[in-house]
Structure 1
Amino acid sequence: MAVTLADVASRAKVSSATVSRVLSGNYPVADATRSRVLRAVDELDYVLNGPASSLAGATSHLVGILVNDIADPFFGIIAGAAQSEIGGGLHGPGDPEKLAVVCNTGGSPERELTYLTLLQRQRAAAVVITGGAAERPDHLAAVAAKLGRLAANGTRIVLCGRPPLPERFPGAGPAPAGPDTAVTLAFDNRGGARRLTEHLLALGHRRIGYVAGPADLSTTRHRLEGHRAALSAAGLAEGADRLTVHGPYDRASGYDATLELLRRQPDLTAVVAANDTIALGACAALRDQDLRIPQDVSVAGFDDLPFSADAVPALTTVRLPLHEAGARAGRLAIGREEPPPGGVATVRADLMARASTAPPPDRG
């Protein structure tokens, strides 16, 4: 007998209307209530009522693309390229056209799980998850469990710019999904960040500030690890914590963090930003302090977003082939490209040295 909305409501000890609100995502619901409802959905393996739910193991023509912020060019480029591959091209009888839907999580782990639940209920043909993972053991285990259920129902899983799924999660016990569940296109964030900092060290910089992203994201951690590895190899690891400031991946964070770095180290000669948008904020803060780029302070970013080459001066950064990676993720999602050996491919990050970095000034 098919599980009903009322069954989920009874298990979660809420009303059917509350279950509908959680699953539709259109109404505010307390986090504790949402968690109870989603747990009940998982425990009962509730799926959408109607024809789709009566076809065990059948999938629809829907593909979900999860992004942190569609207004962020990083995610917009990946999602646009993936959507073009999923919804375009030639389609024959055995390759029906798919509908790609972009799901904007706003960086919320809870919203990420809600969208995965909705896509499970719709028996999505594929799910593409972009960007870094929130490194909370409970959330990682919940996502892995959800992806395991999706894969078991025939949904293809593609991770683009996210690390492979681990087999176990410290403190959270085993998870049903492991590294074999998803195809992974992992960005070389550590290697790219290390090459970027090595570039600055080769120019002669020794007082380098770092503006990092949110501390609990895998992308933030990997890029910071690459930066620190370069400093450590140069014998400059001491004091790195004091010259690191965390914040959101936005321009305002870059501006405020750079002012804080200048307060901590007035004779700073370089600022490394965890992405290009942060780097723009850093440049604005330096100009407002009457500091020239790169004559007084060099600035570098990460991602090589479209505006980077047109900034004044042109921004030194690390290029990730976002469009190519997104397109490949789209092809993998609809089975138009064979998965890489072992299910994991590393996407190289290349240094793009431009005019925003130069040797440090001689300050005696």
Structure 2
Amino acid sequence: MTTQTGQPGGAATGRATLKDVAHRAGVSVPTVSRVIAGNYPVASATRRRVEKALRELDYVANTHARALRGHGAQTVAFVLKDVRGPSFAEVAHGIEEEASRRGRLCLVCVSGGDPARELEAVHLMRQQGAEAVILIGSVRDDEPYRRQMSAIARSLHQSGSRLVLCGRPAPGDSVPATVVEYDNEGGAHAITSRLLAAGHRRVLFFGGDAELTTSAERLAGYRRALSDFGVPFDAALVEKVPFDRGEAYLSMRARLHRDRDFTGVFALTDAVAAGALRALAEAGLSVPRDVSLVGFDDVPPATDLRPQLTTVHVPYEEMGRTAVRLALDRRGDGPGVPEQHVLLGTHVVVRESVAPPPKAD
């Protein structure tokens, strides 16, 4: 019997075995075991051949993971930037619900936004035999990102797992990954249009980093709405702000000290909107009488703010459930063959934070 690597002795999934590595390196199976364990002398040249074969075959050695699989413990892994983010929490809840419904355990890893830590978490989850590894969070959609995601996807696929990207771009058409996105640009276009339809012509784009995919897509929607309403784009009305309530407060306070050259604010998240609202209130400005304010996400604090926030609803829980469903169903754990790439819709939720701009004195 041969594996997908073309070597004898492997499993039908394509997961490399000790025999595969031994055959590739031209040594015995016990020698491979000694190199992996690192507790027995092995000649340097032999060790290098074995280590090269391990890398080439992408061999996973994890006794604990094999024991877990033998006892039927099945897991889904979720790697995110920060567990405190409301949108991430909503996705995590959807993942956990769907995983639990299908009899899986849900493992959560936090990367802190560090790509190296994210990669370490992926490798760990692969070693633990997770059926799916779900990544979420904005990225720079460049060639290094696509190469890394392609390598991760193929490595997981070879081990019988599945890479799922939530709210991230697909690394390529031929890459064995599942992508679940939401209509970021469409939501930004709709919420900006809400302000423009109310009469605002100076709308501050507040939050995010245009080099990252989430912010870039929302900026594209904002600019498209301006174009549709015949309003020229003004780069001076784009304020780069981290997706953090405290940072948003400080940035809006600094902006107001310089100049209030806007009548409306499109905050890129509800948390950013909350920070902006605090700074506006401290400056003696009323929302929406003096300044209209909108957000994006429709998670707390959208309904806790006063006034309640007009914002874009993102189906984060559904995104989490969809991620698990697609990953597992593609592996034969359910009826039918789902799509590899899903785009979920967004919509504006109208509340109390938008009004026509104040009339000039």
Q: TM-score, normalised by structure 2?
A: 0.78
Aligned residue runs from structure 1 range 104-123, under 5 A:
104-123=110-129
SS in 1 for 2:77: strand
- Counterpart residue identity of residue 259, structure 1: R
Paired with 1:40 and 1:315, the residues of 2 have a C-alpha distance of 57
- Counterpart residue identity of residue 111, structure 2: T
Aligned residue runs from structure 1 range 277-316, under 5 A:
277-316=271-310
Residue 301 (structure 1) shift: 0.4
The equivalent position to 1:360 in structure 2, one of 346, 357, 360, is 357
Q: 295-304 or 133-142: which moved more?
A: 133-142
The equivalent position to 1:83 in structure 2, one of 96, 99, 108, is 96
SS in 2 for 1:334: helix
Asked whether 1:143 is paired with 2:138, we answer no
The equivalent of 1:159 in structure 2 is: 165
> Is contact 2:152–2:163 with CA below 8 Å preserved after alignment?
no
Paired with 1:339 and 1:151, the residues of 2 have a C-alpha distance of 19
Rg comparison, structure with higher value: 2
Residue 342 (structure 1) shift: 4.4
The equivalent of 1:172 in structure 2 is: none
SS in 1 for 2:135: strand
Q: Which runs of 5+ in 1 are unaligned?
A: 10-38, 90-96, 168-176
Residue 347 (structure 1) shift: 0.7
Paired with 1:108 and 1:243, the residues of 2 have a C-alpha distance of 30
The equivalent of 1:213 in structure 2 is: 208
Paired with 2:105 and 2:140, the residues of 1 have a C-alpha distance of 27
The equivalent of 1:350 in structure 2 is: 347
> Is contact 2:76–2:105 with CA below 8 Å preserved after alignment?
yes
SS in 2 for 1:299: strand
- Name the CA shift for 1:71/1:340 in 2 (closer, same or farther; >3 Å): farther
Q: Summarize deviations over 1:98-144 as a string: whole Å, max 9, x none.
A: 22101111111111111111122223211122233333432331122
> Is contact 1:211–1:271 with CA below 8 Å preserved after alignment?
yes
The equivalent of 2:47 in structure 1 is: none
The equivalent of 1:332 in structure 2 is: 326
> Is contact 1:8–1:40 with CA below 8 Å preserved after alignment?
no
> Is contact 1:47–1:122 with CA below 8 Å preserved after alignment?
no
Q: Summarize deviations over 1:147-183 as a string: whole Å, max 9, x none.
A: 111012221232222222225xxxxxxxxx62xx122
Identity fraction in percent: 36
Residue 4 (structure 1) shift: 6.6
Paired with 1:75 and 1:42, the residues of 2 have a C-alpha distance of 33
- Name the CA shift for 1:319/1:54 in 2 (closer, same or farther; >3 Å): closer
> Is contact 1:185–1:346 with CA below 8 Å preserved after alignment?
yes
SS in 2 for 1:296: coil
Paired with 2:247 and 2:277, the residues of 1 have a C-alpha distance of 12
Tell me the C-alpha RMSD between the 2 structures: 3.0
> Is contact 1:262–1:268 with CA below 8 Å preserved after alignment?
no
Aligned residue runs from structure 1 range 1-364, under 5 A:
1=18, 45-50=58-63, 52=65, 61-88=74-101, 97-167=103-173, 178=175, 181-239=176-234, 241-263=235-257, 265-335=259-329, 342-364=339-361
> Is contact 2:73–2:105 with CA below 8 Å preserved after alignment?
no
Paired with 1:347 and 1:339, the residues of 2 have a C-alpha distance of 20
Residue 52 (structure 1) shift: 4.9
**Pairs aligned (count):** 315
Paired with 1:231 and 1:153, the residues of 2 have a C-alpha distance of 48
Paired with 2:219 and 2:56, the residues of 1 have a C-alpha distance of 38
> Is contact 1:208–1:272 with CA below 8 Å preserved after alignment?
yes
Q: TM-score, normalised by structure 1?
A: 0.78
- Name the CA shift for 1:271/1:121 in 2 (closer, same or farther; >3 Å): same
- Name the CA shift for 1:299/1:41 in 2 (closer, same or farther; >3 Å): farther
- Name the CA shift for 1:160/1:238 in 2 (closer, same or farther; >3 Å): closer
